[in-house]
Structure 1
Amino acid sequence: MAVEGLSINLATVREQYNMREAVEACLKQDITAIAPWRDQVHAIGLDEAARIVADNRLRVTGLCRGGMFPAADADGRAAAIDDNKRAIDEAAALNADCLVLVVGGLPPGSRDIRGAREMVAEGIEAILPHARAAGIPLAIEPLHPMYAADRACVNTLEQALDICDLLGDGIGVAIDVYHVWWDPELEDQIARAGTSNRILAHHICDWLVPTRDLLLDRGMMGDGVIDLKRIRKAIEKAGYFGAQEVEIFSAQNWWKRPGHEVLSTCIERFRTVC
């Protein structure tokens, strides 16, 4: 019987498996929802990835990732828009629920974070007609402020929802607890997202104390300080009952363990902690 309500972001087992192997390992443990990364798809080819999804009747809760819109010049911004359109097409081929956007940080040499955020809004606006035509919602994922300079200048749910309200239909948010758990406005903004059906994805892991690496030391659910049940309760109160997607980058721990052990632990913690 499938593990209802659980999705595995394939970054969680990227060091153990390629996409084909990860799907096989998930199916052995009755996990039927996944979220691949584009490099994992490219490694086996889009046609093969789409075949694997279709043949196994998998749900793809999101494709990671589009975004990275800010650039130092017009050519760079145009290249980002072209790449995002390709990402939309890939998400459509996989029948993904959404394309997750990690929007990008400051262009090299810049200190203008407001200008970077304007580039993000302009970039999303440029690809939104293509996404609407393909039937792929765009999910802005606000990242923790520690990533504002290099990965994402959109750092709170409020900032992401402001862009959504500006641009209209076909766009929403991916709520990743690792990035937003600290925000004193989180529950109010989750409620706000619910009023316009903007919640497209819910990513889970945990924040370890101490955290040894800000990118590659995410914790398994229950091993850290995030109140996962409280956040999930707020998300469900806002009207979202979609999958909880485990996304763990863990270079010194979970990426070094056998893949089947990682997946079985995800299932156990999902059932007991989340």
Structure 2
Amino acid sequence: MRDFSGDHSQLSLNTATVRKQGNLLDIIEACARHQIRAIAPWRDQVALVGLDAAVTAAKDAGLKLSGYCRGGMFPADGARRQEARDDNRRAVDEAKAFGAPCLVLVVGGLPQFSRAGSAVSKDLGAARAQVEDGIGELLDYARGVGMPLAIEPLHPIYAADRACVNTLAHALDICDRLDPDMTGALGVAADVYHVWWDPNLYRDIRRAGDKRLLAFHVCDWLVPTRDLLTDRGMMGDGVIDIPAIRRAVEAEGFSGFSEVEIFSELDWWQRPMDEVLETCIARHKTAV
């Protein structure tokens, strides 16, 4: 297991962590000041400043990417499936423009939540089938431009609206069916917030191995959690044994960045950006 106590060279900032404090160009400038070496931008933040400006700013600041957020949201009714296809291809192209190591996929839940305006459905099985079909179709396009796809399983509380793939095992089953030769084109993003509870977590990390582990995200689970989407904790403030999970992924050969991704409407989004980044750096040394 790598020693993070002396520096923060392996810290990446998911830009959602300070999305309320400034635009993406502000975040890039702050990361450069704090000697943060990598980011994972969100598409909506990129769109606000323009793709070309965002790519140029990141490159000028010497920033690498740990991933690009996000593709997915595949389930849709018939009238909106082409919209989902086109949107995901654009996400691949944007990730490629940044030189990202992977495009993270938040796969979507029931159609009415994944694609606004879709007909209401309660058929979770059909949504999961659409997810797998959508990933398979996108994989052909992504392979053509050399952009790996990382399926991010989300905690089951998000099964209806954000992701009906909720365990590493399910994500890996999809990977094995669509990419049986483990070519590196398809893998998983392991976010401790979403997987820490799973009794099969360590088994499935071993199953993923270095061929499937494309990204590693950190934050913490607070007790109580006041909002199911926007009350994530800073590393060390909650109940997740983050070092144990990192030890497991690194034992399989993962050597990428630890990406800090915190949605915190009630706390960290209300603090100055510099304070948040300084705290991320300190906790990355002591709690990751």
Equivalence for 1:82: 86
Contact 1:2 1:31 in 2 (8 A): no
2-side partners of 1:61 and 1:44: how far apart? 20
Equivalence for 1:218: 232
Q: Amino acid of the residue matched to residue 29 of structure 1?
A: H
Q: CA RMSD in A?
A: 1.2
Number of aligned positions between the proteins: 272
Greater shift, 56-65 or 155-164, is seen at 56-65
1-side partners of 2:155 and 2:30: how far apart? 31
Greater shift, 179-188 or 53-62, is seen at 53-62
2-side partners of 1:130 and 1:158: how far apart? 25
State the TM-score, normalizing by the size of structure 2: 0.92
Pairing of 1:161-176 with structure 2 (within 5 A): 161-168=172-179, 169=183, 170-176=185-191
Contact 2:222 2:238 in 1 (8 A): yes
Contact 1:2 1:30 in 2 (8 A): no
| 1:189 Cα offset (Å) | 0.3
CA offsets 1:64-103 (integer angstroms, 9 cap, x no match)? 0100000122x31221011000000000000011111000
Unaligned 5+ residue runs, structure 2? 1-5, 113-119
Equivalence for 2:103: 99
Residue among 206, 210, 222 paired with 1:191: 206
Equivalence for 1:117: 128
Unaligned 5+ residue runs, structure 1? none
The percentage of aligned residue pairs carrying the same residue is 60
Q: Amino acid of the residue matched to residue 39 of structure 2?
A: I
Q: Amino acid of the residue matched to residue 229 of structure 1?
A: P
1-side partners of 2:19 and 2:124: how far apart? 32
Pairing of 1:4-19 with structure 2 (within 5 A): 4-19=9-24
| 1:2 Cα offset (Å) | 7.4
1-side partners of 2:26 and 2:111: how far apart? 37
For the pair 1:258 / 2:272, whether they are aligned, the reply is: yes
Equivalence for 2:115: none
| 1:129 Cα offset (Å) | 1.6
| 1:185 Cα offset (Å) | 0.4
Contact 2:15 2:27 in 1 (8 A): yes
Greater shift, 110-119 or 250-259, is seen at 110-119
Contact 2:8 2:285 in 1 (8 A): no
Distance 1:155 1:222, change over 3 A: same
For the pair 1:209 / 2:220, whether they are aligned, the reply is: no
2-side partners of 1:62 and 1:270: how far apart? 18
For the pair 1:30 / 2:42, whether they are aligned, the reply is: no
Equivalence for 2:57: 52
Greater shift, 87-96 or 127-136, is seen at 127-136
For the pair 1:139 / 2:150, whether they are aligned, the reply is: yes
CA offsets 1:169-193 (integer angstroms, 9 cap, x no match)? 3110000010010000000000000
CA offsets 1:94-125 (integer angstroms, 9 cap, x no match)? 00111110000012322211111110010011
State the TM-score, normalizing by the size of structure 1: 0.97
